[in-house]
Structure 1
Amino acid sequence: MSIVISAKASIGLGALAGAGGGGGGGGGEVRERPYFDDVSPRNVTAVVGQSAVLRCRAKHIGNRTVSWMRKRDLHILTSHIFTYTGDARFSVLHPEPSDDWDLRVDYVQPRDAGVYECQINTEPKINMAVFLTVEGDSAAATIWGSQDVYVKKGSTISLTCSVNVHSSPPSSASVLWYHGSSVVDFDSPRGGISLETEKTEGGTTSKLLVTKAALTDSGNYTCVPNNAHPASVSVHVLNGEHPAAMQTSNRGVTSRLPPLSAALLTYLLSAFVCR
């Protein structure tokens, strides 16, 4: 009798092994266990004010959950695609149906530096640590001249942005220009908009030219590099003749008037434009 039972047990074990995907006594089952596809950097460096992405690729998770935890305070930041922190700068990037569960940190601050763990809730739990280093905010764009630029209607708006970030190769740095919240469209029906960009190992210089300025070209212009803080200026397109002291080029506003008189004149000109 005991021999018969043993034979049945052997048959059952063989069936289980076959169901595991074949090959070597359940080797397929081992391959299906969750694991981290460790192909991404374990050390990530970000600049203050920029975004950082901490990569995590989890394979064969099945119905298990991937989470991100901040090591210094053991705070769970994300679980699955949901965020479990009041800090809206943190989010998870999981494009379906990929195995990527990346943690994104926007507007990085010095306090964000440290160890973060990507976890899978197996038993026992498995995790992968990523170290985030935050560099100072010295890398920043600069738009030449004053923060307020005044030009006559019909003239050319000329804005020059310098990004003094050493990079190799030089083409690794790119710059976008925004007018308000929209990217400047060089192919728009308006026409007359061009960009001149010079890239060297010492940095990038981007010059935006808007010809035949119209009143609708007024507003905030922002130079947004991919590897440094952005910079902004306010452009005021004036309709009519105004004192030469208020006209500016990319060198900025100049004024021969005393400070209080210049401020008063600026206020009056702004009121005139609002009409």
Structure 2
Amino acid sequence: MGRVSNRRKENAYLGDQQTTLDEEADDSLPSFVSAIQNVTVSVGRDARLSCVVENLGDYRVAWIYKGTGGRTVLTVATQVITKNPRISATQEAQAWVLTVTSLTQRDQGVYMCQVNTKPARKQLGYIRVVVPPTIDDKASSSDVSVSEGGEAVLTCEASGDPQPAIRWVREDGQPLPATANASVSEEHLGRSLVLSSASRNASGAYLCIATNGVPPAVSKRILLSVSFPPEVVQQAGDVVVGVAGGVGGVGELRCRFWAWPRSKVTWLRGPREVNLTRRGMTAATTREEAAWGLWTSELRVKVRDVEDLGHYRCLVTNQHGDAACTFQLVEITTTTTTTTTTTITTTSTSTSTVAPPPHHRINPPPASTSAPAGTQPPFVPWRKIHDKGPTTTITTIGPNSVLEGAEGVAADDDPDLKHRKTPLRYFEPPTSSSSRLSASSLLGTCVAHVILVVLLFARS
């Protein structure tokens, strides 16, 4: 209605073109070059109207305000006639500029640029003053409290020019609850938001936002509190809390519950209230930010003796009712099992037979390392052949004989052999197995006899 009323006043003053031009065709008289541009300005700001006149000569330009109370001369040329200090006039080439600073709604209206010809020539301009929205806190709702299931009414009153529109949203961005006239939605338009049956989920902050196209938009925050009795979060029976090590350990008991308004929380040990002034006992209740009316109460118990173990209860009470969390504080016994691992290492000794040395080297055969203690070493037969012309002598060296001694005996019998190296025939010793010793010795003896017979036949 305010916008339509202002537009009608403007059209009544200005007509269809919002200007009035002198129609005389005398080129020697002053004339207006262009129409005055109407302006729309927010309250508190400055407005300028420009009137361009050519062939002014000795004539003067005056600015006159035409309001509902009549006409008021504001300026003549650059001289200010009115006593309003916010009015001024300046000349910029052929333009005569009227400036009104710090506009108020009373400054809105028709302004006339007039040249003092006979008859007077005049031109009209219009200043529209718009007002950004404001919210009337006294006429609007403050924070609202209602019991669950009751009706909640939130009201917001705003003013401005043009008249502001009001919309409602939730501060946390969640959809609005269903109303009597609308289902769940992101926003609601209108000066009032009515929740016919408010649930606890409707609790929270609501914003009423007023806009009318003139910046800035404004908003008001209204907190809706839906009260309800305490309710424990997901508990069936006692919650068992273990304390490692028992005496000297610390147990932490946590009770989560829904309630609004904030309830009184009492921790009980058996039938008695926990003495929180005692050293090692602390309790704290905090509200969780993730949801409205969700709380956590925590009791820390430092176990000083076995009497601190047992049954605990968290009692939550408000004007709508009460609820309780129950706990069993028990000792956790840690059993340590020692496992001994025995590692058995088996060492195997292998026996190898060393190949016989080359001719003309006298080395004893290697001793067996695997022969059992107290076992007689095997007998190794050695044969020494003495060539004395047509006669051949065979000397058998026993197991305890010394080769050098045997060689010495042969040398004494035959002086020609003292400086002569006597070739020895080496027979490979038997293996370390006792079952094979006698067979190896017999085989060596047989081989030696065979070789001797062959040599005798060869010489003959």
Q: Same fold (TM over 0.5)?
A: no
Determine which structure has the larger helix proportion and give its number.
Answer: 1
Structure 1-normalised TM-score? 0.38
Larger RCO: Structure 1 or Structure 2 (Cα < 8 Å, ≥ 6 residues apart)?
1
Between Structure 1 and Structure 2, whose CA radius of gyration is higher? Answer: 2
TM-score norm. by structure 2 comes to 0.23
